Structure 1
Amino acid sequence: MKHAMHRIITSVLCAFCLTSPALAQDLDEIIQAKLRPGWRMANGIHMAALQLDLAPGWKTYWRQPGDSGLAPHFDFSQSEGVQTVEVIYPTPKISWLGGSRNIGYDTRVIFPLQLSLDNTADITLIGRIEIGVCRELCIPV
C-alpha cells in the first residue's frame, strides 16, 4: 500500500504540465500540489484528497467560476485499478474585482477525492488537472 500511495502522489504531481518552460520556476512559487493518501472505508471506497497551496494574493476557481475565470477540469480516466473518481468541491468564497464576481479559493483548497476501486490490490491514480491560477490575470496550469 505504501508503494502504491507513492505512485499515486508521483502521478498526480506529474499531471501539472506546463505549456512554457519559462513559467516553471514562477509557477512553483505560485502553486504547490500535494496528494493526501487518505483512508479506505468499510464499503471499499477510498477517500483521498488533492491539496493546493497558493501564494499570497493568488486564487483559483470553483466549478462555477463566476463572471470570469476558469473552472477546474479533473481527468482521472487513465488511472489503473480505479473505476471512478468523484471530486468533491469544498464551499467556495465569493469575491469582487471591480464589478466582476468571482467564486473560488485562495491560500489553500483541499479537494476530497472519492475513489471507487476495482477488486485489485494495486491502484495507480493518474490524473490531468487543468485549473486557472489568478492574481490580476489568469495563468492556465
Structure 2
Amino acid sequence: MPLPADPCPCGRLAPGGPGGSKGKGAAPLAYAHCCGRYLPAPGADAAPAPDAESLMRSRYTAFVSERADYLQATWHPGTRPAALDFEPGARWLGLQVRSHRATGEDRAEVEFVARYRVGGRAVRLHETSRFVREDGRWLYVDGDISP
C-alpha cells in the first residue's frame, strides 16, 4: 500500500504548474490526494469516487496494492466474480487513460492502457470499461479488451 505522500500509482497529475525534475508538465498527485481518498485501509470508510475515471484509477491502484476487498466492493453485483486472483509476481508499471465519456446520466466509459511485467514478460492491457452509478456510487460493470 502506498504511503500518503508517495506519488499515486495511477499516475494522475496535479492540475497546472511545473513539476518533475526537468520542470516539464505537472507533478504527480500524492496518493493521499488521489486514490487514497477512495481506497482506505481495509475496514475504514472512504469517500465514493466522484466519477467513472476516478473509480477506474482507484481500481488500478487496488490492483497494484492487491486489494481484492476494494475491487469486489466497486464491482457491480451483476458481473462481480466470486473471487479474485492476482497474477503472482506481477509488477505494475503504469496507467494511461486514453478517454472517458458519459454514455448516459448514470453511465460512463473509460478507455485505458495498463502496463505490467510478470515473469520477465511485458504485458499491455488495453480496455474500454463500462461503469454505472447506483445510489450515488460508481461501479465497474465490464469491459472490452482490445489488442
Q: Would you call these one fold, judging by a TM-score over 0.5? A: no
Question: Relative contact order (alpha carbons < 8 A, sep ≥ 6): 1 or 2 greater?
Answer: 1
Structure having the higher strand fraction is: 1
> What's the TM-score once normalised by structure 2's chain length?
0.31
